Amino acid sequence: QVRLVESGGGSVQTGDSLRLSCVASEQTFTKPTFTIYGMVWFRQAPGKEREFVAAIEWPGGDTHYSVPVQDRFTVSRDLFENTMYLQMHNLKPEDTAVYHCAARTFPGTYYYREEYSYGHWGQGIQVTVSS
């Protein structure tokens, strides 16, 4: 079973920065057997539906962003550590949400903005931005 753990959240003020991390791992007696083909960040604010934030394709590293964050957030990855990052700059109150990471572990063409493309999800981490 693939496990995803987010970290790096917290409470900040408008204009501050945060870096979220998402580490994928698998409990084995020898070595991990899964392969990551893509990872994504979604977020969900109170009373709102979960929305796409950013995605990164593992083999090629292509990135994709939602319009509200495309000029402020940067998603990246560490292939050797099975880790995805989300560097967030110029945070705004509207960025306040629980941020979830997810991973796709099967190959093939997929829609990176859709939840159903990913089979493994983290528990989420709170990001609060106050003015």
pLDDT in tens, 80-94: 899 999 999 999 999
For residues 63-72, give the mean pLDDT: 97
Residue with tokens 């880790």: 83
**Rounded percentage of the chain residues whose pLDDT exceeds 90:** 88
Token couple for 112 = 């990176």
Inform me whether the pLDDT recorded for 40 exceeds 90: yes
Mean pLDDT across the chain, nearest whole number? 95
What pLDDT is recorded for position 27? 77
What pLDDT is recorded for position 1? 81
Residue with tokens 């981490």: 125
What pLDDT is recorded for position 9? 97
- For residues 89 and 80, give the distance between their C-alpha atoms in angstroms, rounded to a whole number: 25
pLDDT in tens, 49-62: 999 999 999 989 99
